Amino acid sequence: MNFTLKIWRQKDAKSKGGFETYKVSDISEDTSFLEMLDILNNDLIHAGKEPVAFDHDCREGICGMCSLHIDGKAHGPGQGATTCQIYMRKFKDGATITIEPWRSAAFPVIKDLVVNRGAYDQILQAGGFISVRTNSVPDANAIPIPKADADEAMDAAACIGCGACAATCKNGSAMLFVAARVSSLAKLPQGRVEGARRAKAMVAKMDELGFGNCTNTGACQAECPKSISIAHIARLNREFLSAKFED
80 membership: H or E segment, kind and range: none
Contact assessment for residue 27 and residue 88, using Cβ atoms and an 8 Å cutoff: yes
Q: Is 36 exposed, middle or buried (0-12, 13-18, 19+ CB in 10 A)?
A: buried
What does the longest C-alpha to C-alpha distance in the chain come to?
64
Position among 38, 51, 62, 98 found at the interface with other proteins (CB under 8 A): 98
Residues 187-246 touching other proteins, rule: CB under 8 A, are: 203-204, 206-207, 210-219, 222-223, 229-231, 233-242, 244-245
Position among 69, 181, 198, 205 found at the interface with other proteins (CB under 8 A): 69
Is residue 79 a contact point for other proteins (CB under 8 A)? yes
Three-state DSSP string of 181-218: HHHHHHCCHHHHCCHHHHHHHHHHHHHHCCCCCCCCCC
6: nearest Cα among 74, 75, 100, 103: 100
Region of 45-53, 124-132, 142-150, 172-180 interacting with other proteins (CB under 8 A): 172-180
Least gap, CB of 26 to other proteins (angstroms): 25
* Chain contacts with other proteins (rule: CB under 8 A): 6, 17, 19, 69, 71-73, 79, 98, 100, 103-106, 109, 168, 170-173, 175, 203-204, 206-207, 210-219, 222-223, 229-231, 233-242, 244-245, 247
